[in-house]
């Protein structure tokens, strides 16, 4: 069986949303990657059991951080990927604030929180208080690195599994 689902990537500019998508879809990393301009939609496919899930990955421009947390962008999404830069604590605060403000339209969609750039271990800067606050959300966490590729496929696979669980529950 083949399914197609919309997935929105959300996070502050510079957290690595585009790099994560490129690593997942093209298995590449570009050190000199620029922020996305407008909206980029990429396609990646995951096989889960007997289902081929085609994920339409909506990657918004990097210049307007709050604009991506709106009803029209998230409308029709089956899953969300929240991306933070583990070396910049403000990027997790940004996601937590946006989730609180957008609770009405973000809703109970399956979501994965990606702590990106974990390859920069000496620069890890998230505080225990931030991690505790984020732990209260009903999201699956993945520590990943778009640069090294560590856990990138696992993050997308986990979101695919969560979306398929919702599909089974509603059938």
pLDDT tens, 52-105?
999 999 988 764 555 556 677 788 899 999 999 989 988 888 888 777 766 556
Q: Taking the CA atoms of the chain, what radius of gyration do you get in angstroms?
A: 15
Using alpha carbons, select from 159, 72, 60 the residue that is nearest to residue 109: 159
Evaluate whether 139 touches 109 at the Cβ level (below 8 Å). no
Helix (H) or strand (E) holding 82: strand 77-85
Which CATH architecture group holds 2-170?
3-Layer(aba) Sandwich (3.40)
The confidence score (pLDDT) of residue 34 equals 62
Q: Which two tokens stand for residue 140?
A: 């699956």
Q: Where are the domains of the chain?
A: 2-170
Q: Is the pLDDT of residue 16 over 70?
A: yes
pLDDT in tens, 100-143: 766 556 677 899 999 999 888 777 777 778 777 777 777 788 99
């Amino acid at each position: 069986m083949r399914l197609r689902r919309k997935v929105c990537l959300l996070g502050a500019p510079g957290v690595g949303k585009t790099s994560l998508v490129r690593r997942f879809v093209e298995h590449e990393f570009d050190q000199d990657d620029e922020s996305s301009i407008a909206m980029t939609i990429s396609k990646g496919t995951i096989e889960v059991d007997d289902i081929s899930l085609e994920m339409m990955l909506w990657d918004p421009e990097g210049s307007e951080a709050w604009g991506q947390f709106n009803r029209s962008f998230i409308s029709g999404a089956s899953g969300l990927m929240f991306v933070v830069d583990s070396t910049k604590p403000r990027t997790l605060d940004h996601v937590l604030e946006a989730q609180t403000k957008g609770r009405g339209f973000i809703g109970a969609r399956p979501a994965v929180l990606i702590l990106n750039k974990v390859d920069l271990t000496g620069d890890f800067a998230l505080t225990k208080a931030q991690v505790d606050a984020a732990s209260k959300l009903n999201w699956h966490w993945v520590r990943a690195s778009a640069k090294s590729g560590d856990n990138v496929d696992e993050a997308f696979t986990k979101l695919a599994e969560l979306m398929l669980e919702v599909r089974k529950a509603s059938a």
